[in-house]
Amino acid sequence: MEAFLISAGTIAVAEVGDRTQLLSLVLVAKYRRPLPIIAGILCATLANHGIAGVIGVWFGNLLTPKILDIVVGAGMIAMSLWTLKPDELNADGATLSAAGAFLATLTSFFLAEIGDKTQIATVALAAAYSSLFAVIAGTTLGMLAANAPVVFLGKAFADRLPIRSIHYAASGLFLLLGIGFLWRAFARQASLS
């Protein structure tokens, strides 16, 4: 349950103000069909985070628990700094196919998430927790929690969010998680001594 809750909360907060929210606005403005867009976000996130989770499990199996906690902790602290840099939607992200709202969302979300902080966080979370299903379910729920309101309520809702404050809160959350993993690494060593 911890893996699910940490994964969902981390991604939901980190995703606010992310380029995928901007992409959600572009998609809803173009297609005005929220349900296929939400379905596309769900499928793209499951695929993207599923791949990231498998990579994280593989990576986690290569390392000792102490080294893994140090790597994940350092990664979370790096994510904390990355979160402070706001995302922008570039021209490539705004290019949509004519195949419909679902296919355009599926394709654009999957591509937008490659190398994104939420995908990297999913790798780290899957490496840190033993339940791959809980991590992927949590990160997917976090992605939907952050993007569904944008799709359903559109630009009016997004314009009212204190994006800068949310970026600071997300950065703080990643920092606390990083410190927690580092502490666990060194507490583990102290208990073995």
pLDDT of residue 101: 84
pLDDT of residue 172: 81
pLDDT of residue 137: 96
Q: For residues 121 and 54, is the Cβ–Cβ distance under 8 A?
A: no
**11-49 pLDDT per residue, tens:** 998 887 777 887 788 778 777 788 899 999 999 999 999
pLDDT at 160 over 80: no
pLDDT at 50 over 90: yes
| pTM of model > 0.85 | no
Report the C-alpha gap between 100 and 39 in whole angstroms.
12
DSSP the chain: -HHHHHHHHHHHHHHTTSHHHHHHHHHHHHH--HHHHHHHHHHHHHHHHHHHHHHHHHHHHHS-HHHHHHHHHHHHHHHHHHHTS-----TTTT---SS-HHHHHHHHHHHHHTT-HHHHHHHHHHHH-S-HHHHHHHHHHHHHHHHHHHHHHHHHHHHTS-HHHHHHHHHHHHHHHHHHHHHHHHHHHHHH-
**114-145 pLDDT per residue, tens:** 778 888 889 989 998 989 999 999 999 999 99
Record the tokens describing residue 98, joined without a space.
């004519």
pLDDT of residue 86: 59
